[in-house]
Each structure stands twice: as structure tokens, then as C-alpha cells.
Amino acid sequence: VGEDGATHQMNEDIALMRALPNMTVVVPADGPEAGAATLAVARHQGPVYLRLGRPAVPDIHGEDYAFDLFKAPVLREGGDVAIFACGYMVHLALEAAAQLEKQGISAAVVNVHTIKPLDKETVLRYARRCGRVIAAEEHSIIGGLGSAIAEVLGEEQPTHMVRIGVRDTFGESGKPAELLEKYGLTAEAIVQAARKLMQ
């Protein structure tokens, strides 16, 4: 939330909500998905945490997008590295994948809009296919999307992995673009992580 200051920032909310029994945690990537997710969670039986961000993001999905609360849509196919992203980071993951393609690296992009329960089937399928995984989130690397994926891979499919997110620190005041750059939440950071995994 940028300039409202550290007291108005929450880099730990997904971790906190994931820890609550029976809680469903949803992080839409754009406007159409936020609208579709709102309708889906209204019909869902049980508690849901729907995380919405303030910064504007480009629309990735069309208005006719068929949202499935429990399936992570694959936005781009690839075979060298799998990028799992949620929320604000999804459009950056797509930007990074386009840059990587120019460098000869084929990157799949998966929009993990529901972090709990995680779509383990899709995570495992792309981890096995690519053998290299990146998790990108606008959240602490502790307890969020990267942790959820690492838990699954650690138990079922050990895979080389890089987590992109806020390191073990509190938020601070500043313009969103400046803070995203400071904490490494950029398309370039995803590109560099993929290049590192390819070495």
C-alpha cells in the first residue's frame, strides 16, 4: 500500500491465514479475476480470505474468464523453468517469461490464485516437467506461496527452487514502484532467478 506507511502494510497476511484450519486463501491477479473470485467465494461453503491489492495491474484475463477456485490456470507453457506467481506478481511473471524467451529459456507461467488449498497436481506436473521452479509473490517469503510450494515439493518432488518475495523484514513507507524495486519484486528479478537456475 506504499505511502500509507508500515502500519498499513501486510507482508505476513497469507502466512497467518494459511495457518488457520479450513481457511481458503485467494489472491487474484487482476480485475476480471477479482470479480470472478468474489462470486466464487460467495458460493463457497467455509471461511475464505480474499486478498486484494491497491496498485493497478493490467488485465490478464478476459471478462469471460472461467474461474475455478481450486485450479491454478497455466497462462504460458514452457519446459525449462516453471514460474508460479500470485496476485500482483502474475503480470510480472508473464513479462519475465517473454524476456526469457528472447534469451532462449522456455518459461511456463502458472497463476496460483488459490494458495490454500494449493493445486498440488499442477504444481507437481510443472515441477516434474521443468525441474526448476520459481515462486513469486508480493508477500514475505516466509509462510506464503513459496512456502506452500516448497512444502509440497519437499515431500513429493524435490526440485531446484528460488523464492521471490519480501525477505524477513517489515514494510516501510514509499511509492509502490520504489518499494517493489527495493524488495526485488520485479520482472528482472524473476529473469535473474531463472538464469541462475539454468546454470
**Domain with 12 in it: what CATH number?**
3.40.50.920
Name the residue range of residue 188's domain: 2-198
| Residue 94: Cβ within 10 Å count | 22
**Rounded to the nearest 5 degrees, what angle is found at the Cα of 103, between the Cα atoms of 78 and 182?**
90
Query: So what's the pLDDT on residue 1?
Result: 47
Query: So what's the pLDDT on residue 7?
Result: 52
- Of the two residues 194 and 54, the one the predictor is more confident about is 194
Query: So what's the pLDDT on residue 173?
Result: 81
Q: Reply yes or no on whether the pLDDT at 176 is more than 70.
A: yes
**Sign of the alpha-carbon torsion through 169, 172, 97, 65:** positive
Q: How many domains does the chain have?
A: 1
CA atoms within 13 A on the CB side of 197: 28
Element (H, E) at 116: strand 114-116
Give the integer Cα–Cα distance in Å for 94 and 180. 16
Residues sharing a CB contact under 8 Å with residue 39, sequence separation 6 or more, in sequence order: 67
Backbone angles phi, psi at 148, to 5 degrees: -60, -45
User: If you write DSSP's letter for every residue of 13-65 in order, what string do you get?
Assistant: HHHHHHTSTT-EEE--SSHHHHHHHHHHHHHSSS-EEE---SS-----S-TT-
User: Is 75 in contact with 111 (CB distance < 8 Å)?
Assistant: yes
Q: What is the pLDDT of residues 26-64, one digit of tens each?
A: 999 999 999 999 999 999 999 999 999 888 899 999 988
Query: For helices 89-102 and 187-198, what crossing angle results, to 10°?
Result: 50
Query: So what's the pLDDT on residue 5?
Result: 57
24 DSSP β-pair partners: 48
60 DSSP β-pair partners: none
Q: What is the pLDDT of residues 66-90, one digit of tens each?
A: 999 999 999 999 999 999 999 999 9
> Please, which pLDDT band fits residue 169 given cuts at 50, 70 and 90?
confident
Q: What is the pLDDT of residues 87-143, one digit of tens each?
A: 999 999 999 999 999 999 999 999 999 999 999 999 999 999 999 999 999 999 999
